[in-house]
Chain A
Amino acid sequence: MDWHQLWVIVSAPDNVPIVAMLFLVPFFAWLGFRQALANDRLVVQLEADPKLAKTHHRKTWPWKPHWARELHVWPYLLRIEFLATLIVTVVLFVWSITLNAPLEEPANPNLTMNPSKAPWYFLGLQEMLVYFDPWIAGVVMPSIMIVGLMAFPYLDSNPLGVGYYTWRQRRVAISSFLIGFVTWIVLIFIGTFIRGPGWVWFWPGQTWDHNFVPFEVNQDLPDIVARWGLRFIGFQPWKGLFGAAMVGLFFIVAGYLTHKLVTRTDFEKKIFQRTSLLQYSVFQFFAITILWAMPVKLLLRLLFRIKYVLVTPWFNI
């Protein structure tokens, strides 16, 4: 275990946000879920007692007699925000005093630094380049993500769960968001902690040796199948057709699984009823191409050393 190497990575001023994120993301996820589950319990309690349901209550806390029905922004909200402001200011002060901006030497056009890493917020994108063509990873996928995020409010036909934390009423939305977000965080984590010189996979604690020679012979899925005996699949157009069939299969399987997952409970079935075909198919498209495709391709590559599934003369997936 090379603790020195680990310390070099953790202590780099560049990586402060990422190290912080490792703690902050689980913490806020936990906090959010705690609130959400408390609310869910409250909903159950209120629904069980129609009398109580009709009284005023502040969210999270079921109403108690003699409590104020409403609270003013000032001072009750603002003082909390003020406290948060103070804490953030202190953190930023300390941060800026102790860590200087990581400036480097003047760029040398004749020498590329190794490893050559994007700023932390783009590391996920850079990591995606390992799994997809530059065009797909750099342009198509990010575009789909952004369009997907923009489209989401219009695909949502669930009227509940607006303005308060809840898990029961928002399972699909929260899950799909978390899958996407955690995938993104994992990619950033890989880019920071795992990828060393030559963008080679180093486990945390392994020395980043520039002379490291990994075994990284990746093959296209059609070629692997061709070696099993179906030689013709190794040649175009069969190669492309086979890949397309595999991608199609993936869409069908992933779509079926997605459908099962979003219609698990009665409540969700009811919501599904409210959803139009257009809304639902658009949702499925984004769910499959982003939420499923990314982790699946990552695993195919890392576990089975499969480079591409669909190989065409124009693009590869």
Chain B
Amino acid sequence: MADNVANEQLEKRAETAEPDPIADSSMSRALLITSILLILTLVWSLYDEIFGQRPWKAYQSEFVASYLEHLETLKKAAAKPEERNEKAIRETAEYKKLDAAYREATEKVAPRVKEIGARVSEIDREIGDITDPFQEARAWIASKIYQLETTASESGKESVRSSIEDKRNESITVAFTQKDGSIKKEGVPYKQLEKRYNDLRDEKARLNVELAGLTKESGEMLRKREDYLQNQMSGLTEQAVDNIIKGTNAFEYRIRQINVAGGQVVDRCESCHLGVREPLTLTADKMGDEKAFVSHPSRDLLTIHDPEKFGCSTCHGGNGRGTTSVEKGHGRYKHWLWPLYYKENVQAGCNQCHNADRVTRMADTLNRGKDLYYQKGCVGCHRYEGFDREADALASARQTIKQLELDRATRLREMRETREAAEKVTSNEEARSLLNRADVVLPQLVSQIDGRIGELDLQTKYLMKDQKKIGPNLKEIKAKLRKEWLPVWLRDPQAFRPGTKMPSFRLDDNEIRAISAFLWQSAIDYVRIADQQQGNVERGRDLFKQTGCVACHSIDGNAINQGSQPVGGHFAANLSRVGEKANFNYIVRWIHNPRQRLAPYSPSLRRDLTPDDYKSKNLAFLFDDDHSKSPLDGRELQVQNMTVMPNFRLSEQDARDIASFLMSLKKGEPRYPDASYLDDASLKQEGERLVKAYGCASCHEIRGLEDEGRIGTELTVEGSKPIERLDFALLTEDAMRGKDPITGGERSAWYNHKGFFEYKLRNPGIYDRGKVKSPEERLKMPNIYLEEDEITALTTFLLGSVTTSIPESLRYKPAGAAKQAQDGWWVVRKYNCMGCHNVLIGEDPTLAGVAMYQDADGKEQLPPRLTTEGARVNPDWLLKFLRDPSLAGPQAAEKLAQQIARHDAGAAQPSAVAGLTSQPGANRNGVRQYLRARMPTFDFSPNELQMLVNFFMGASVQPQPYIPERLEPLTGDEQTLARALFTSAAAPCLKCHMTGDPAHDARATAPNFLLAPERLKPAWTRRWLIDPAFISPGTAMPSGLFNRDEMHGRWVFSGPTPPSFQTYDKDHVELLVRYMFQLTADEQRRLGTGGAAPSAPAPGSTTTTSSLDRAIRRPTSRVNGP
């Protein structure tokens, strides 16, 4: 039927003139084309699947090619006959000796080794023959035994038992291989077979033990030879390179994945970055200019943060799972929230975990960012958890006190009410219980509360002491500044003092007038400071140079004859033009004691106290650490200026001299425009509004604005703020399309956190560009004039300020010593200890960079390194020293009390004239009196003292509390011996160390021994004596004083020793340490006076002395001893 139809159709088509549009048209061409297209797309999809979506495959093959090429070059280099390469070393006598020793050791045991080898192979063959049939039989028996155990009936058991016994006696056919290779079948009973099997195994074990004993020596020799080769080589051995080549040839093309912490981190970065963990250090030029293949730049970092445990993207950001393209893997696309950090900001990653660190090792940029954040006063307006913790703690302490006082009142009321209730109840029982509550329980509760309030009150005292402001106290400007200078400064702080921390606020003339007037009028005017005589400018210049002022302050080099560049640190202000702005009397007072305020501030009354307040209670207008309670309400007062500037314990004359010098610093006699409007009361209100709006009180103390809050946004987690919440304003399109808003040129798109932060820091008002806003609405952040590298540092810090996605288990949560070090850094950085001291390994103090500390004499004047301070000193002593670095002791305190008494008498006069208060301690350094730089008194609160001591102990991982080591008292003989060592002409200790004799101490360059027992730890002293240069590179203390006597395992003095030492077989260092720690003042005086004619050196020992001089490595450039 179908055929018929088809035929019919064919017939009809042939006849018709007009073809049928459906039946007569062919679709074969269309079908062919689409089929080919389909096949092509199929091929395309396969390609895409295998290569297109897996670009890492191309990277891997490229890596293998580049790496092999690099390895071949290395191999060739290793084969070249150069010094220190493998071949050359193999030719050395030492190597040959070691090689010969190895060969000898091998040959000596060779016959026996061979014998054993032969026997073992025989045993192996026999065991091999026996094993199969024996194990088969044993398995059969084992299964029968199970049957025996589980069969219930006794008769059944019996039959199984007999079948086991039969099997045991049955002969088993074993095919033994003969020596010639033929096979001999032998029937052996099971019992015998079992014994033979076990015997063979025992024998083999015995032989192996013997073999190990025999080859032990030769193995040792081989190791020595290879170690020697390895140590002498600069690169890898040929064999090692060969091994890597072998490994690389067997390269497996696959995804390299790190999977940690239950799948929260899955990183496939190493699928392309194959060189990261290679043993060789790979650089881009070695690897065919492919940056992806380089090694990780810091192996130290990888050791701490093992990639197997941490992955890559935890620190670096990026999409660790992404493998389809470079952009995807690096997470640099719209929807990945944690893109790879750019190279300059890579340390932002550290901050995810190390956000509680003030200083993180190996993260310089991040540390710099944190320094800037604090020093530039960012923290004034922008809260950041951890920074400015005192203010937070203070607020919470005050809040708690309020709460507790409320509690206390409630308890007292309850007491009264309970007593009244007790009167009314009828039952005796009940009354007794109520009275018990009223008279026994409640009073104790109240007293508990009192205790807590007392403690918190003390804490507020400490916290007020620790609380610092970045800028100076503006309550004192009437005493401090020239009136006309104020508006000039506000107009452009940078112009007056380039590099100042004071930012510029984009103020117009009216605003400047109003702000100046408000500040001037709100300053304290009821305390006049005492007039001071002019001092000696030249002497002041010398004192300024030497006392250590330049550790924090910078100054025009011309002023102190140190070249024409600014000299000194950037921690504090540049003092080059102080003479143009300040009042002499105030500067004297400031230098003498910067913490001394004009008037105390009462946080509870919210005002500065006046002399009248004190007078009303019949008290002198006296406020300091010991008189810190308010006469009006008994609360703690702010009695110190909130500055980190310490007290240098200068005499009044010294202070006058330095101040005179500073006042002489001018860039010509200034001419300021008239500023009489500063007294215009009508400007005050507008001024106050502006000062509040711009947040001036964040950095300065301003009267009436002590409790102003921060005006900026909190930045603790600014880095993880959604990008949509960062207001790019009208620059959004520029940011997305890569237009530089400052130059107007093309750049890469910067619509990301990095771009936002960088432009904001470059030009804080930039996002107002083009906006029509009223002055109040404008962005308030002032221009800070940052350098590009400072912007990078701050951006890095902000980028790292995130709510981290790193799994809890990987975070850095230090405890014990590490925690102490972490906490202490905040104090160290706050007071700029590293201006004078080397605290962090690798970070030189500011002073070390100043020209006058560069030569040998200058280096001797550098303050000591503190990198091992915790191991060196006794924590109790350290606490004492930090409290009063002059170590003046109780006498000074007594003198102080007398002075205060005198001061009290003087201050009771009607007009308040604030003179100079007395100094803590004496006008000198406590330990190193020979240093002209002065260790100042920082007036730390007990909290900070504790933190600092803990810091030094923690940083050196010292156990706390410290229990001093007990040193054996010296016997009479030992005393004599030690004295001989101590005064040896080769190393006359008292030549450099201070003795207390002023004539001698003028030339001394090391501390007094009498301090040692209280100050030093014996263990550290021992290490110090053996090699001081190792502990403090560049120290003046000579190294090589002692030689190692390996025979007796002790150290002996390397200089000539008197004959009496020949019978002394103990450690010389130990002896000297014990002597030092038991040295008395008398003994030292005796030795010191006799020191000029030393008794130790034997006659005619000049030659030995000079040979000793060679042995003792005296450093050319010297820094102080311990």
Residues of A within 8 A of B (CB): 4, 58, 61, 64-68, 71-72, 76, 79-80, 82-83, 86-87, 89-90, 93-94, 96-97, 103-106, 108, 110-111, 113-114, 207, 209-211
| CB nearest neighbor in B for A96 | B45
Query: Are A68 and B12 also in contact (CB < 8 A) when A90-B38, A93-B45, A211-B730 are?
Result: yes
B18 near A64: Cβ-Cβ < 8 Å: yes
Tell me, in angstroms, the Cα distance from A58 to B729 when the chains sit together.
Answer: 67
Cα–Cα distance between A106 and B319 once the two chains are bound (Å): 13
Q: Judging by beta carbons under 8 Å apart, are B34 and A90 in contact? A: yes
Contact A97 B45 (CB under 8 A): yes
B605 close to chain A: CB less than 8 A: no
Interfacial chain A residues near B16, Cβ < 8 Å: 64-67
Q: Which of A71, A79, A82, A97 contacts B44 (CB 8 A)?
A: A97
Q: Are B34 and A83 in contact (CB under 8 A)?
A: yes
Question: Min CB distance, A51 to chain B, in Å?
Answer: 19
Contact residues in A for B191 (Cβ distance below 8 Å): none
- B1085: chain A residues within 8 A (beta carbon): none
B135 is an interface residue with CB less than 8 A from chain A: no
A-B contact pairs, 12 of them (CB 8 A): A64-B16, A66-B12, A66-B13, A67-B23, A68-B12, A83-B27, A86-B31, A90-B38, A105-B336, A111-B724, A211-B729, A211-B730
Assembly CA distance A80 to B23 (angstroms): 12
> Is the CB–CB distance between B335 and A104 below 8 Å?
yes
Shortest Cβ gap from A81 to chain B (Å): 11
Q: Are A209 and B35 within 8 A (Cβ)?
A: no
Is the Cβ of A79 less than 8 Å from the Cβ of B9? no
Q: How far is the CA of A139 from the CA of B8 in the complex (A)?
A: 60
The SS class assigned to the B binding surface is helix
Nearest 10 pairs between A and B by C-beta?
A: A66-B16, A93-B41, A66-B12, A86-B34, A105-B335, A104-B335, A111-B722, A68-B9, A90-B37, A97-B48
Instruction: Name which of A80, A103, A105 has the most chain B CB atoms within 10 A of its CB.
Output: A105
A96 to B49, CA, bound (A): 11
The residue in chain A whose Cβ has the minimal distance to the Cβ of B37 is A90
Known interface pairs A68-B20, A83-B30, A111-B722; A211-B732 also in contact (CB < 8 Å): yes
Min CB distance, B34 to chain A, in Å? 4
Chain B contacts for A207, CB-based, 8 A: 733
Shortest Cβ distance from residue B994 to the other chain A in the assembled complex, whole angstroms: 65
Residue of chain A at shortest CB distance from B6: A72
Please determine whether B732 and A86 come into contact, CB atoms closer than 8 angstroms: no
Closest to B20 in A: A67
Main secondary structure, interface of A, reads loop
Residues of A within 8 A of B730 (CB): 211
Q: Which chain B residues numbered 712 to 750 have a C-beta less than 8 Å away from chain A?
A: 722, 724-725, 729-730, 732-733, 737
CA distance A83 to B29 in the complex (A): 11
Contacts known (A61-B21, A83-B30); A103 close to B724, Cβ less than 8 A: no
Task: Please state if A209 and B732 are interface contacts (CB–CB under 8 Å).
Answer: yes
User: B27 contacts A79, CB within 8 Å?
Assistant: yes
Q: Is residue B100 within 8 Å, beta carbon to beta carbon, of the partner chain?
A: no
Q: A66-B13, A67-B16, A87-B34 are in contact. List 13 more A-B contacts (CB 8 A).
A: A4-B737, A61-B21, A66-B15, A68-B9, A76-B22, A80-B27, A83-B31, A86-B37, A89-B41, A90-B34, A93-B44, A96-B45, A207-B733
What residues on B are CB-neighbors of A96 within 8 Å? 45
Partner of B12 from the list A67, A89, A90 (CB cut-off 8 Å) is A67
Decide if B335 touches A94 in the complex (CB within 8 Å).
no
Q: Give the chain A neighbours of B38 by CB distance below 8 A.
A: 86, 89-90, 93
From residue A18, how far is it (CB to closest CB) to chain B in Å?
Answer: 20
Q: What's the Cα separation between A90 and B31 when bound, in Å?
A: 12
Tell me if B23 and A68 are in contact (CB < 8 A): yes
Contacting A93 at CB < 8 Å: which of B12, B31, B42?
A: B42
The interface residues of chain B lying within 8 Å CB-to-CB of A211 are 729-730, 732
Which residues does chain A contribute within 8 Å of B27, judged by CB atoms?
79-80, 83
Beta-carbon contact of A76 and B23 below 8 Å: yes
Say if the beta carbon of B280 comes within 8 Å of chain A: no
Q: Pick the residue among B18, B22, B722, B729 that contacts A108 (CB under 8 A).
A: B722
Q: Which residue of A lies closest to B722 (CB)?
A: A111
Instruction: Report yes or no: A79 in contact with B31, Cβ–Cβ below 8 A.
Output: yes
Q: A108 — which chain B residues lie within 8 A by C-beta?
A: 722
A90 to B30, CA, bound (A): 13
Query: Does B632 lie at the interface of the complex (its beta carbon under 8 Å from any beta carbon of A)?
Result: no
Complex-state Cα separation, A106 to B337, whole angstroms = 9
Chain B residue at smallest Cβ distance from A70: B5
Bound: A136/B336 CA distance, A: 38
Q: Are B22 and A114 in contact (CB under 8 A)?
A: no
In the complex, A113 Cα to B42 Cα: how many Å?
38
User: Closest Cβ of chain A: how far from B35's Cβ, in Å?
Assistant: 6
Nearest chain A residue, comparing its CB with the CB of B721: A111
The smallest beta-carbon distance between A110 and chain B, in angstroms, is 8
- The closest CB in chain A to the CB of B30 belongs to A83
Interface centre among A86, A106, A209 (most CB of B within 10 A): A86
Cβ–Cβ < 8 Å partners of B8 in chain A: 68
- B732 closest partner in A (C-beta): A210
Q: How far is the CA of A72 from the CA of B48 in the complex (A)?
A: 41
Q: What residues of chain B lie closer than 8 Å to A209, measured between beta carbons?
A: 732-733
List, in ascending order, chain A residues with CB within 8 A of B41's CB.
89-90, 93-94, 97
Q: Which residues of chain A are near B9, meaning CB under 8 Å? A: 68
Residues of the B chain whose Cβ atoms lie less than 8 Å from the Cβ of A111 = 722, 724-725
Residues of B within 8 A of A72 (CB): 5
CA A86 to CA B37, docked complex, whole Å: 9
Chain A residues with Cβ under 8 A from B12's Cβ?
Answer: 66-68
For the complex, give the distance between the alpha carbons of A58 and B733 in Å.
61
CA distance A281 to B696 in the complex (A): 76
Chain A residues closer than 8 Å to B42, beta-carbon distance:
93
Closest to B25 in A: A76
Residues on the A chain within 8 Å of B20, using CB = 64, 67-68
Chain B residue at minimum C-beta to C-beta distance from A106: B337
A103 — which chain B residues lie within 8 A by C-beta? 335
Residues of B within 8 A of A66 (CB): 12-13, 15-16
Q: How far is the CA of A108 from the CA of B337 in the complex (A)?
A: 11
The CA of A64 and the CA of B48, in the complex, are separated in Å by: 52
**Contact of B724 (CB < 8 Å), options: A80, A83, A104, A114:** A114
| A2 nearest in chain B by CB position | B733
Contacts of A76 in B (CB 8 A): 22-23
Contact present for A82 and B31 (CB under 8 Å)? yes
Which chain A residues lie closer than 8 Å to B35 at the CB level? 86
CA distance A197 to B30 in the complex (A): 46
Chain B residues, CB < 8 A from A80? 27
Residue of B nearest to A113 (CB): B724
Q: Please, which residue of chain B has its CB at the minimum distance from the CB of A112?
A: B724
Interface centre among B22, B35, B45, B725 (most CB of A within 10 A): B22
Rounded to whole Å, the gap between the CB of A19 and the closest CB of chain B is 20
| Nearest CB of B to A288, in Å | 43
A76 and B35 CA atoms in complex are apart in Å by 18
In the complex formed, the residue of A with least CB distance to B338 is A105
Q: Mark B1051-1082, 1 if CB is under 8 A from A, else 0.
A: 00000000000000000000000000000000
Residues of A within 8 A of B5 (CB): 68, 72
B945 to chain A, nearest CB (A): 43
Distance between Cα atoms of A80 and B12 in the complex (Å): 23
Question: Bound state CA distance, A111 and B335, in angstroms?
Answer: 14
Q: Which residue of B lies closest to A102 (CB)?
A: B335
Q: Look across to chain B and name the residue whose beta carbon is closest to the beta carbon of A61.
A: B21
Q: Contacts of A87 on B, CB cut-off 8 Å?
A: 34
Measured between alpha carbons, how far is A113 from B722 in the docked complex, in Å? 10
Closest A residue to B725 using CB positions: A111
C-alpha gap A58/B778 in the complex (Å): 78
* CB neighbours of B335 from chain A (8 A): 103-105
A151, chain B: closest CB distance, angstroms: 37
Nearest neighbor of B34 in chain A, beta-carbon distance: A86
Beta-carbon nearest neighbor of B31 in chain A: A83
> How far apart sit A58 and B48, CA to CA, in the bound complex (Å)?
47
| A67 to chain B: closest residue by CB | B20
Question: What per-residue 1/0 map shows which CB atoms of B316-339 lie under 8 Å from chain A?
Answer: 000000000000000000111100
Minimum Cβ distance to chain A for residue B154 (Å): 73
CA distance A207 to B30 in the complex (A): 44
